[in-house]
Amino acid sequence: MLTESQLARWRRTRAKGLTRVVLEQWLVWTVGLGIGGPTLRALLRGGWAGVRAYWTGGAGGVHLALALVFGAAMTYVFGVLSWKRMERLYAESGGSSAARGGA
């Protein structure tokens, strides 16, 4: 059972729509963590020259591929699966997809 504050937060999130939530999750996981993390590490270790060297080398390409896979997996878990779970909990708490215009 969801509390009233959880229901209010879900209604705000639900109003964004699934597409926007999935896009936001993909940007956070892929760009923010998957690409931003190693870029920041290279920047702190070697400045902008270190960033350039990292992303032009072989490790950069491998890391880019891993970031895309990581981003896709985390987006599925925290975007799609979480959305479905919250829809189920919302319905159990008395919310209705049909009454609110469908999702």
Run means of pLDDT, 10 residues per run, the chain, 103 residues:
89 94 94 92 95 89 92 95 94 66 47
What confidence score (pLDDT) does residue 96 get? Answer: 58
Residue 101 confidence (pLDDT): 46
pLDDT of 98 reads 43
Which pLDDT does position 59 carry in this prediction?
83
Instruction: Give this prediction's pTM.
Output: 0.74
Position 99 scores a pLDDT of 42
Any domain includes 87: yes
Q: Cα–Cα–Cα angle for 55, 46, 72, nearest 5°?
A: 35
Residue 100 lies in a domain: no
CA distance readout (Å), 45 to 33, 35, 38, 40, 53: 18, 16, 10, 9, 11
**What's the domain range around 51?**
4-92
Number of domains in the chain: 1
